[in-house]
Amino acid sequence: MRTALAVAATIGALPHAGLFAPGRSLGGVTLGEPAARVSAALGSHGVCDGCTTSTWYFTYAKFTQAGLAVELRAGRVSAVYTIWQPPGWHTPSGLRFGAVEGQVTKLAGPLAPVQCPGYTALVHDVGAVRDAYYIVDGKLWAFGLLPARTNPCR
């Protein structure tokens, strides 16, 4: 039986009901992965004009907001995070967008808060990877995967 991600990768599209696997991947994308592999798996993308880091946006339809952002350095993934709460995305423990902060800390384990302009990032480093749970108005707004000890404010 093929998984939704395998099907998405076969047709080159952003997965519906994407998975945030803490410490490993977000929407099937891993840190250090070659840009060409991401493009082949997720399909066409937009490019951020004003970003200081090369950033690709993968959305479900052109000019829509919900999806995934992938930052690149030297042709490899340096960070990946959700944008505008793509529907159905979750963690293996069942966290979904809109969960209150208490649920996030209960299900994601020990997290350290980092105050960003307008939101809080709850972070946890696992080896060389930093998991980020972005909180806006007390609720889970986004997931992120970054190199350990990296500033999660995007």
For the segment 4-44, what is each residue's pLDDT rounded down to a tens digit? 333 344 447 999 999 999 999 999 999 999 999 999 999 99
What ranges in 1-149 are assigned the alpha helix state H? Answer: 4-11, 35-42, 101-108
| 84 inside domain | yes
Do the domain assignments include residue 124? yes
Domain that holds residue 136: 4-147
Q: Is residue 61 part of a domain?
A: yes
Residue 153, domain member (yes or no): no
Q: Which residues contact 102 (CB under 8 A, 6 or more apart)?
A: none
Closest CA to 32 of 127, 128, 123: 128
Q: Are strands 129-136 and 139-147 parallel, antiparallel or unpaired?
A: antiparallel
Q: What is the pTM of this model?
A: 0.90
C-alpha 98/C-alpha 54 separation (Å) is: 29
CATH code of the domain containing 120: 3.40.33.10
Give the chain's domain count.
1
Q: Would 129 be classed as within a structural domain?
A: yes
Confidence bin at 63 (pLDDT 50/70/90): confident
H helices of 1-139, in order, are: 4-11, 35-42, 101-108
Place of tokens 């997720």: 42
